[in-house]
Amino acid sequence: MIELLIKREMNLKNELLSGLTVALALVPEAVAFAFVAGVDPSVGLWAAFFVGFITSLIGGRPGMISGATGAMAVAMTAFVVLYGLEYLFAAVILSGIIQILCGVCKVGKYVRLLPHSVMLGFVNGLAIVIGLAQFGQLKANHQVTFNDHSHSFEIVGQWMTGGMMLVTISLIALTMAIIYLLPKLTKAVPGTLVAIVAVTLLVQFTPLQSVTVQNSVDQMDVLSMEKVAKTRLFESEKPDLIYSEVNDRGHEIAGKTIAVTKTVSERQAGHFAIPSIPFSWESFAVIFGLAATLAAIGLIESLMTLTLIDELTETRGSSNRECIAQGLANMVSGFFGSMGGCAMIGQSMINIRSGGRNRLSGITAALCLFAFIMIPPLWKCIGMIPVPALIGVMFIVVIATFEWTSLRLWNKIPKSDMFVIVMVSAITVAFDLAIAVAAGVVISALVFAWNKSHQIEATIEEGADEKLYELSGPLFFGAVTTFKEIFTPTEDPETVTIEFKNTRVYDHSALEAINGVCARYRDLGKTVVLKSLSDDCLRMLNKAEPIMEVNIDNQDCHTAI
């Protein structure tokens, strides 16, 4: 960490070499994230190029690397299975539009208001979700089955057994060992890339048998087409079936052999096309939920990464400009048949460590990645990568992503903060990242409001004909009840003064509380004078004048604390 804080001048050599290093590390991770999302590797690689190039060129944080990410990939998995790629691309485009609107409306600056406990919960939950997604890759013999509860078809596999499971676990362990140990020997080449190449060569030139990326993609494509064909057949017959026959017919169709052949899709990654989905409110309703989720996840992760790099480099990026750049990048990605993305914490750290602090490093990484995609021999090699190697890469990502220090905080931070960390992590696993962050912010805000609500208090000075209440603490909706309990109108003298020099009025609830207290005294024929209100409090009271009846004496006005 100390090493990262050292300021470095612009160095062309460092920028170019750092970009090349990042590009080499991006290839296996982009393929792995595409695999998590259940799409072809080209969809992830093109996303890494488009998002990386555009954000590096016009983004708000020079030196930050963006591409296809696990956070967005895990949100896409079920959607791709249910609706297919064209709807995914449309959702990515819509998410980009939402992100651009956030940038134009200057929403980006509000990420700095996210509590640290929410960030920890977000990161930990993300790591857990990515990790759990990998266990699904340990299944084989996938087939289309019928779900009695949802009355829909699903692709289900069985856990590997015997020698196949042993080989898979061994290859995963070997991949992780290489990634972990190689940097201790040399940092000239990325450990991730070396691990992928080593395990691929081992499988190709030894008797070891393992499912490759191409095998898995081909199998899933065929199963997806079979699922679609059986769903169409079932839906065509369903209206003529009585309820008791629905499940039996569903299982019967699931067991039927329906011949499907994989065809070359008209929509190929890297080629411009408008997503071929019906232009209707129904289609919009289908994609909007995923689009909003992807937009929120992408902005949160990107702006969190931006804040981290700001701290490490002792510079300041533009969060709103980054929102616009991320949105434009995702729009372009969707139109060119790729899965979109956002900032990558791990790759950004690699870039910073390697000396990349300017736009040139990110642009170099994207252009090198483009060259890798366009070289046919390398493209063919990507399909030869064993699936266990990608699982190993993702497990390393999980270990690096999870904030292990948070496990030691349970007795060192307030219980409410620890509760937020656990709750955000749990909601992330149960639902999705965007809902988890929103819930964490709400919980943190409520805890803060509850704690502050007890800080309003008063020093009371009582004379023969006058009583002074000198308030201290914030007066807002959470403190209204305590504020009202301070006063005793029936016992007080004819004149009561409320001193506000040590307090501040924050919202309409506070105004109503003041008005209510004054009304109680007025009903008893007593006079209340408000003193030492700050300028902003006076502006609020003046705006509320038609609905308030109070006496203000602000000759000795002091700014409220």
Tell whether pTM > 0.75. Answer: no
Into how many domains does the chain fold? 2
Please spell the DSSP secondary structure of 268-304, one letter per residue: -TTS-----S--SHHHHHHHHHHHHHHHHHHHHHHHH
**HSE value, Cβ hemisphere, 13 Å, CA-based, for 203:** 26
Q: Does residue 544 fall inside a structural domain?
A: yes
Res 166: pLDDT: 93
* Residue 278 is assigned to a structural domain of this protein: no
**Contact (Cβ atoms closer than 8 angstroms) between residue 387 and residue 212:** yes
Which one of 339, 371, 401 terminates a domain? Answer: 401
pLDDT tens digits in sequence order for the chain, 561 residues long: 333 333 445 678 778 877 887 787 677 777 777 777 777 778 888 999 999 999 999 998 888 999 888 778 878 877 887 788 889 999 999 999 999 999 999 887 777 677 888 888 888 887 887 788 788 778 888 888 888 887 888 878 888 888 889 999 999 999 999 988 988 888 777 777 788 889 999 998 988 888 887 787 677 777 777 877 888 888 888 888 888 888 888 888 888 887 766 554 456 777 888 888 888 888 898 899 889 989 988 888 888 788 878 877 778 888 899 999 999 999 999 999 898 899 887 778 777 766 778 889 899 989 988 888 888 787 777 778 888 988 888 788 788 778 888 888 878 888 888 888 999 889 888 877 778 888 888 888 888 888 887 788 888 988 878 899 999 988 888 888 889 989 999 989 988 998 888 888 888 888 888 888 888 988 888 888 888 877 767 776 666 555 445 556 554 433 333
Among 401, 433, 468, residue at a domain's last position? 401
Instruction: Say whether both 504 and 368 belong to one domain.
Output: no
Within a domain: 428: no
Residue 139, strand partner residues: 159
Are 254 and 181 members of one domain? yes
Do residues 127 and 249 share a domain?
yes
Is the domain of 233 the same as that of 345? yes
Which of 358, 381, 401 is where one domain is finished?
401
Q: Quick check: 457 and 483 in contact, CB under 8 A?
A: no
**What are the C-alpha distances in Å from 389 to residues 45, 223, 450, 552?**
17, 23, 49, 73
List the domain range (segments joined by +) for residue 81: 3-262+283-401
Structure tokens at 62: 């020079």
Q: Is residue 128 part of a domain?
A: yes
The reply to whether 312 and 459 lie within a common domain is no
Paired with 552 in beta bridges are 530
Is residue 476 in a domain? yes
